[in-house]
Amino acid sequence: MARNVAPTRSNLLKLTDELKFATLGHELLDQKRSILVVELLTLVDQAVEYQGRVDKALAKASDSMQHTVMEMGRLRVANLFGAVTIDSTIELTDRKVMGVRIPRVETTFTENGPYFSPEGTTLSVEQTLDDYRDALQLMGRLAELKVSIMRLAREVKKTIRKVNALEKIVIPELKETLAYTRGRIEESERESFMLMKQVKERMDRQRERQAEVT
């Protein structure tokens, strides 16, 4: 539905500028949507890959733990790992994709070993520690990907809503209002032209009469 706008030249220029601005905004938002979707799909593929890697790493770490328990006994293993003190640090930074903040997660470990005497222990103890450390690092990367996907998905939805609003509501209404206003102005100008023509013809007839009288 066309907006109720007075059919004047100034309003016509204003509507023309609004349509240009809305069209440009639609193009930019459409480009933003495309870039975000590509980035989102890329991260989804990476997340699927890392989910598989995390599952395998956790399964491997669990198998290592079970193997160690079978070799040394549950109580002995519990006492050994209770003595392990590994400090972990998670550093959070971010990057921007079309204005959306995407997190970066860096997980580092600081070890202060040896934690126990090698006497009476097997190599599987160290292997179990390494396997769980690798799994934790992969989980940090997976968490980064999942948070990034959620943020990008929200922004994609918002951008799609804006693009659709411009494409299906704002721009069509502006075009309709612009066409209506232009039509009214042209109609008014035709009426003014006809009126001026009639006035001119009447004045011409009056001059002719005066000439005949004289």
DSSP string, the chain: --------HHHHHHHHHHHHHHHHHHHHHHHHHHHHHHHHHHHHHHHHHHHHHHHHHHHHHHHHHHHHHHHH-HHHHHHHHHT--EEEEEEEEEEEETTEEEEEEEEEEEE----S-STT--HHHHHHHHHHHHHHHHHHHHHHHHHHHHHHHHHHHHHHHHHHHIIIIIHHHHHHHHHHHHHHHHHHHHHHHHHHHHHHHHHHHHHHHHHHH-
In a domain? residue 179: no
Domain span at residue 79 reads: 9-169
Can you give the pLDDT at residue 113?
60
Can you give the pLDDT at residue 197?
80
Can you give the pLDDT at residue 116?
57
CATH number of the domain within which 163 lies: 1.10.287.3240
Could you identify the residue written with the tokens 């090698």?
Answer: 118
Q: Which two tokens stand for residue 35?
A: 């870039």
In a domain? residue 130: yes
In a domain? residue 139: yes
Task: Kindly report, residue by residue over 172-203, the tens digit of the pLDDT.
Answer: 999 999 998 888 888 887 888 888 888 887 88
In a domain? residue 201: no
Mean pLDDT, all residues of the chain: 85
Give how many domains the chain has, as a whole number: 1
